[in-house]
A and B are shown apart, each in its own frame.
Chain A
Amino acid sequence: MTATFPDLYMSPRLLAPGGTPADLATHQQRYGPLAYGDPDGVLRAVAESGLTGRGGAAFAVYRKLVAVADAGRRTGRAPVVVANGAEGEPASHKDKTLLRLSPHLVLDGLQIAAQAVGADEAHLAVEDGASYLEAALARRSDPLRVNVVRVPKRFLSGQSSALAQYISGAAALPAHQDPPVRERGVRRAPTLVQNVETLAHVALVARYGADWFRTAGTPAQPGSALCTVHVPGREVRVVEAPFGMPLGRILPIEATTSAVLLGGYHGTWIPSPEAAQLPLDATTMGAGVLAALPTTHCGLTETARVLRYLALQSAGQCGPCLNGLPRMAAAFQSLAVPGPQGTTRTDIARWAGLVEGRGACHHPDGTTRLVRSALTTFASELDAHARGLCTATDRTPLLPVPQES
């Protein structure tokens, strides 16, 4: 179970207080009624709110909504809307937590978004908790019926083209995106794939307006975001924090912290003094995973564990990813073991250059980002390893990696 302490950072917007799931009555009492019937007003409010996607790419929600609505008009096909709760990232718990505590907020947002783009079909894609969400849906009287889709538990299942493929009846694998999913997605209809947290924010913007939304965050990045916070020796927590808040206030960054992993397994390692000052930023936080690495642990070993997992999670469709990721993972594993390094560092740098930007999805790019940041942030530890030393004292695995043997 993931602990939630939403009140620590701001008055909670998304997560039901007290860690108790909000049923429909509680939800309606807390947030008030939701008015349908003004899709243009919703589009305007979303545009003025500055809301960006919370699935990791931080794309402007308004622009995506308009692109899907336009594609629908242009092609004469009613769009499909997919609420993306397929949180394939093992270190991220925020979508699962949101769906468990505030399912109706997400479902409200799904209806609002569907109406804004003129959709006639809606799906909610999740890995877990499908029956719980079906029960929540059965209590509502929504304008548009929602189909709950159970997706395979894989890192890439939540990738938007993989989701569109899966709902169309094919395997949940990323596809070449030209034209993009927003123009040709589920069964070739224009498709809006939007992260569940994003939809929850949409439900609030539709109720309370853009000015209210902008009371949290910064003028350039308004609003708040859910973060999954990993601190060694403590329960994993999901917190809601406003953009602009220094990372050092979201998780404790102490003298015993050597680095912070920002943005999860497609994210970046940042040395702790620098991380403490960095503001929470939509363009660097990915899907909001923050993990503190204590000085007792070896950042190279942790990175090698994650890289092995990422290489295994490659869909194996694209040559550079299929070839490059296992080679980078194996080479990194050899760097994690103290001893002579030969040409390993330059090999890794070359392979990183060869996989970057050469895939149907961003799996190679995200993996490259993690690799490069590890080589920089743990440079002195790399030098120590080259001399046959490792400064870590604790070999217990830290970051969650499924199916590790």
Chain B
Amino acid sequence: MTHPAQHIDIDWAACQGHGLCAELLPDHITLDEWGYPLVEGTPVPARTAKRARRAAEDCPVLALKLAMR
């Protein structure tokens, strides 16, 4: 039995491509040619969880969500 892991989920209707998330989580998020986040589909490892929470809190439009699945 595996525990549900944290995944990065983007609210696409809210995201305006500020790009902060890619600076805070460069191993998980890069930006596409229009400046919108490309998210690595793998779960966020425990050691990154704190920075991921920070990225979610710092997104100017709160478009980055951490979802358990």
Contacts and interface: CB of A to CB of B under 8 A. Distances in A.
A176 B10 CA distance: 9
B16 to A, nearest CB: 7
Query: Most chain-A CB neighbours within 10 Å: which of B10, B13, B14, B32?
Result: B13
A360 interface: yes
A287 to B, nearest CB: 23
Contacts of A176: 11-14
Contacts of A317: 12-13
Interface of B is mostly: loop
Contacts of B11: 176, 178, 360
B14 A319 contact: no
B33 A319 contact: no
Given A358-B12, A360-B12, A360-B13, A320 B67 contact: no
A319 B15 contact: yes
B9 interface: yes
Nearest to B65: A178
Contacts of B36: 319-320, 323, 358
Interface residues of A, number: 17
B43 interface: no
Contacts of A174: 13
A178 B67 contact: yes
Nearest to A360: B13
B32 A320 contact: yes
Q: Chain B interface: which size bin?
A: 10 to 19
A319 B12 CA distance: 7
**Highest count of chain A CB atoms <10 Å: which of B12, B34, B35, B65:** B12
Nearest to B10: A358
A176 B62 CA distance: 12
A17 interface: no
Given A319-B36, A360-B12, 9 more contacts: A175-B13, A178-B9, A178-B67, A318-B15, A319-B15, A319-B16, A319-B17, A319-B35, A358-B36
28 contacts: A173-B13, A174-B13, A176-B13, A176-B14, A178-B9, A178-B11, A178-B67, A315-B13, A317-B12, A317-B13, A319-B15, A319-B17, A319-B35, A320-B12, A320-B34, A320-B36, A321-B12, A323-B34, A323-B36, A354-B32, A354-B34, A354-B38, A358-B10, A358-B12, A358-B36, A359-B12, A360-B11, A360-B13
